[in-house]
Amino acid sequence: MSGSSPATERSFARLIAVEPELSRIAPLAELVPGLPGRTLFHAGPPFADPADLPLPLANGVAAAALHEGWIAGGGELPAALAAGEIRLAPAQDIGLVTPLAFVVGPSVFCLEVRDACAPERRAFSPLNDGPLPDALRLGGGRPAGRAILRELTAAVGPDLAARLAGPLPLLPVIARGLAGGDELHGRLTAAQEAVPGFFGGPLAPASEAYLARASQFVLNVLMAAAALMIGAGAGIAGSDLVVASGGNGRDLGWKLAGEPGRWRTAPATRPVGPRLPGHEASSPLPAIGDSAVLDALGLGAACLRFAPELGAGLRGFVDPAYYGVEAHAAFVGPHPALPFEGLKLGLDLTRTRRCLGIMLGMVGAQGEGLVGRGIAPWPEG
């Protein structure tokens, strides 16, 4: 099948009608009232056995449980999971998207992105947890990463929430990124330049220092925008538009608009690309993170031709088709606010394609942290 069905086209029409705007910052429990008790939210689809997790995600769960005060030490976690005293759930089941191995509890400050055309429609993402090497999203569970999370919860999050100059339209931020050499998943340099304008009035010194360090702050904002946009297509019978997508380090999961309550899964692939110095022998974890929603929207791996700096480092590792308009063959159509050559949004897995993948940071399977960057091919068959 080379085109999309009428049902999928109707879902796509809903997608491009969304006008995402950054509207609020608050703890997850305030943004999503009625959360299930003692539940932590992870990327990708659910696990068959929540006590059997990839090490980086287990580190993320332990960090989150410690942060919430639900355990006193990491050694308590396996028993708490096995007994159901702490439960895990996919973040996207509550409209939340979380990067890599970062696990979200109710006290974590999150970004809210809403649809200006339908403000009741919202999506969420945690505040970016900062740079290498301590960021908890990298799966190392480092004590310094937990300290960053405590600072975000106690001081920086409330300050950013009070100073947010929203609601802030995000389609112009996406356009700014693409025009400035970003593909908006692995490279966000141009889009990040918009971040100072997100806040009005003087920020506290700790907040200023955080924003100076969090060079990918905008990534989490755009993740929520992407989740909101693709999710708008849900609920049309027979539609094949992908409305959720993420990896949990074992499986890649996605939902279709025609059955938005059902996770479909396949074994996740490992990202293919260059390693960081000193990690040439490290084994990357199979795809992990809800940032896959960016690629399901049509950004990320399919936009490599707009990001020559990033693309140069991947040559020789990935299919050359990623560097041309053919990279968008799996997507439905253009967006009127994003007039870039060959850019199409809305993933339809029934469409004929040569390449399809997810731009990802490589998380070391043994908890080493970031070991490289590459594209995880979409599992076929």
pLDDT at 172 over 90: yes
As a whole number, mean pLDDT of residues 149-158 equals: 98
At a CB cut-off of 8 Å and minimum separation 6, what does 109 contact?
25, 26, 27, 28, 126, 127, 152, 153, 156, 157, 158, 160, 161
As a whole number, mean pLDDT of residues 274-290 equals: 96
Identify the band that residue 258 occupies on the pLDDT scale cut at 50, 70 and 90. very high
Q: Write the DSSP string, 210-240.
A: HHHH-TTHHHHHHHHHHHHHHHTTTT-TT--
How confident is the model over 219-256, as pLDDT tens digits?
999 999 999 999 999 999 999 999 999 999 999 999 99
Identify the band that residue 381 occupies on the pLDDT scale cut at 50, 70 and 90. low
As a whole number, mean pLDDT of residues 107-127 equals: 98
pLDDT at 132 over 60: yes
Collapsed DSSP state (helix, strand, coil) of residue 246: strand
pLDDT at 319 over 60: yes
Here the tokens at position 128 are 């970016």
User: Domain ranges in the chain?
Assistant: 14-227, 237-377
Average pLDDT, the chain: 97
Distance of CA 27 to the CA centre of its chain: 18
pLDDT at 10 over 50: yes
**What's the pLDDT score for residue 1?**
43
Question: Whole-angstrom Cα distance, residue 275 to residue 374?
Answer: 9
How confident is the model over 69-101, as pLDDT tens digits?
999 998 999 999 999 999 999 999 999 999 999
Report the predicted TM-score, pTM, of the whole model to 2 decimal places: 0.97
Identify the band that residue 2 occupies on the pLDDT scale cut at 50, 70 and 90. low
- 239 closest CA partner among 302, 301, 332: 332
How confident is the model over 40-53, as pLDDT tens digits?
999 999 999 998 99
Q: Which CATH superfamily is domain 237-377 in?
A: v583 domain like (3.90.1700.10)
